[in-house]
Amino acid sequence: MSHRIRGRKDHYLPQGYLRGFIDPVQAKENKPLWWFQVPYRKWTQCSTAEVGFIRGFYDYSRQVDPSIETADQAFAELERNFTLILNELLACQFSNWLDRREFLLRYMQMIRVRSPLYFEQKRTVAKTTQAFVIEGISEDRKKLKVRPTQLPDPFIKNRSLTEMKEEMQKGADWLYNFDWALRYCDSPQDSFLTSDGPFVVTGPLEGQDQQVSWEALRHPDTLFYFPLCWQACIVGSPRLFEVKTDKAHPRFLQSVRNMYREKAKEYLISAIRLGD
């Protein structure tokens, strides 16, 4: 098994995913993406290599058993096939996307659990978990002397990486509890965008930073959004969609763009420059 280089750029948004938001007329440019940095309210152009990464993000905090699967290995199959499947869907104008729904839901699940938000949620939970240090054992070996402590950050990071891979291995079965539709468009000038957190959930659970209840997710007003590329966005709901595949109305496109701009914490990625 090859040794993984530590401290490199770990893309929590795969470059293959980001390439789906390049305007075709900009495809040969060195910096073909439009990148809106939320804290600075500033649009600049960038390449797929310049955004969506954190150095050493998937590095274990200490040397671990080399037989343990790396994040690269966990992501490999989905990353490798995403571009191929997306090109296939584009070629048929998304008419057969339901045939690829299982893969797309698995891909969405991967993006969710490899995100900084997922890791921050795990860290917050771990910081509130009561842990103890054993300071002594009684002579009869029946009692322990302990003191409370916080879980150390290296342990939390390593455990979060393990839980991320376990969550991916479970697959996307929980997403099959919802109905899914796809909306598409045909012009970069009126298109979908994405953000530092592409998997967005709206509804009664908004404003909750930690794990939400299953009841909240099943609320009929809950909606899931995941932009596949500038041409298409998958939408999920506990309710059934009458139309599974349809061209997006301009008002829907604008509302989705507005929602992502409102929810983005760090940045947006777009095929074109939008208003500040």
Per-residue model confidence as pLDDT tens digits over 13-58:
999 999 999 999 999 999 999 999 999 999 999 999 999 999 999 9
Round the average pLDDT of the chain to a whole number and report it: 88
pLDDT digits (tens, 9 = 90+) for 121-148: 888 887 777 766 676 777 777 777 767 7
pLDDT band (50, 70, 90) for residue 210: very low
Do 202 and 223 touch, CB atoms closer than 8 A?
Answer: yes
Q: How far apart are the first and last CA of the chain?
A: 47
Q: At what angle do helices 101-113 and 71-91 cross, to 10 degrees?
A: 140
Residue 168 vs residue 81, higher pLDDT: 81
Residue scoring higher pLDDT (244 or 212): 244
Share of the chain above pLDDT 70, in %: 89
**Strand (E) or helix (H) holding 111:** helix 101-113
CB contact set of 28 (below 8 Å; sequence gap of 6+): none
Q: Beta-strand (E) ranges in the chain?
A: 9-11, 33-37, 42-46, 53-55, 131-137, 144-149, 179-184, 194-195, 200-202, 223-229, 232-237, 245-247, 267-270
Task: Tell me what pLDDT residue 211 has.
Answer: 52
d(CA 160, CA 152): 12
> pLDDT at position 42, please?
94
Q: Confidence band (pLDDT; 50, 70, 90) for 64?
A: low
Whether the predicted pLDDT of 66 surpasses 50: yes
113 touches 168 (CB < 8 A): yes
Q: Are 226 and 199 in contact (CB under 8 A)?
A: yes
Q: Does position 256 have pLDDT exceeding 50, yes or no?
A: yes
Question: According to the model, what pLDDT value does residue 125 have?
Answer: 82
**Contact in structure between 260 and 193 (CB atoms under 8 Å):** yes
pLDDT tier at 170, thresholds 50, 70, 90: confident
Tens-digit pLDDT profile for residues 141-160: 777 776 777 778 888 888 88
For residue 86, which amino acid is it? L
User: Could you give the 3-state DSSP secondary structure of residue 100?
Assistant: helix
High-pLDDT (> 90) share of the chain, %: 62
Least confident of 3-7, 153-157, 189-193: 3-7
Coil, helix or strand for 177?
helix
pLDDT of residue 206: 55
What's the pLDDT at 72? 80
Q: Is the pLDDT of residue 209 over 60?
A: no
Instruction: Tell me how far apart the alpha carbons of residues 187 and 97 are, in angstroms, rounded to a whole number.
Output: 19
Measuring CA to CA, which residue among 269, 263, 77 is closest to residue 69? 77
Q: What is the pLDDT of residues 83-100, one digit of tens each?
A: 999 999 999 999 999 999
